[in-house]
Amino acid sequence: MAMNDSANILSSAYLAVEYVDAVLPENPFQPPLKHAWNYMLDNYTKFQIATWGSLIVHELVYFVLCLPGFLFQFVPFMQKYKIQQDKPETMEKQWRCFKMLLFNHFCIQFPLICGTYYFTEFFSIPYDWDSMPRWPYLLAQCFGCAVVEDTWHYFLHRLLHHRRIYKYIHKVHHEFTSPFGMQAEYAHPAETIILGAGFFIGIMIFCNHVFLLWAWVTFRLLETIDVHSGYDIPLNPLHLIPFYAGARFHDFHHMNFVGNYASTFTWWDKLLNTDSQYNKHMQKQGDKKEQ
């Protein structure tokens, strides 16, 4: 039933995209973007674009998106939006997290990134400007990748919480019971590979241009840093995404260790009743506010 719902959502998304694409005017930013893209193609090889381009996109997007959450701890006004206010961030924890990130990014993820060129060649994924899908299609494809990754993440993440293997792998990620944005990819190397595999499954299904790789990386990092931020910011545009879990949903997972296993959406937790403790917690929080 949930898979049928997911298929219906994807079908509806593509129908909506076709309508939007038909009525949209030409993008005024298209000419300079086209010039920049063609300049890149003329001056760099496909291997350089796929390898170094992907690394730069990942590192730049990751740490730029982490920066606001890092600065929030120094802004008194933002503290009212912190979810676990009794557990402030510390520089010692953040420095330890940063060192682990550098190891994971360059010793685990970078070797995988080096295979990007061969991946695009094997699946005949184009690089040229004329083959690039318009942005409504990119959004729909990213949404499709998110649905696939979320399903993989839910079941593998839940498995990593099994009492017989939790302490060997996933316990590393739960070192911080009050998460912060930079901690999104703080994990055991084995977990980086196991859960990270879900990222590539959607790409194998939907990818029709190398730019989708970068668009999907950007969206996935935006989502995972947001849910690990520790702050429930009002007017968050990500909350416009149907069934989006958000920071409060995932923050409870770090605080409680049980339930709320999905990465992006709430439907698997709702369907399999692994959000029951979260629902009770939120009900108690609501009751306290009413008193």
Write out pLDDT tens, residues 101-151: 999 999 999 999 999 999 999 999 999 999 998 888 999 999 999 999 999
d(C-alpha 169, C-alpha 191), whole Å: 6
The answer to which of 214-228, 261-275, 276-290 has the lowest mean pLDDT is 276-290
- Average pLDDT, integer, range 64-82: 93
Q: Check: CB of residue 139 under 8 Å from CB of residue 27.
A: no
Question: Could you give the C-alpha distances from 194 to 64, 254, 263, 268, in angstroms and in order?
Answer: 25, 19, 14, 19
Write out pLDDT tens, residues 187-227: 999 999 999 999 999 999 998 999 999 999 999 999 999 99
d(C-alpha 121, C-alpha 154), whole Å: 30
Pull the structure tokens for residue 139. Answer: 């959004």
- Residue 265 φ/ψ, nearest 5 degrees: -110, 170
d(C-alpha 227, C-alpha 180), whole Å: 9
Q: pLDDT-based confidence at 235, cuts 50/70/90? A: confident
**pLDDT given at position 1:** 47
Averaged confidence pLDDT in the chain: 89
Q: For the whole model, what pTM was predicted?
A: 0.86
The answer on pLDDT for 20 being more than 50 is no
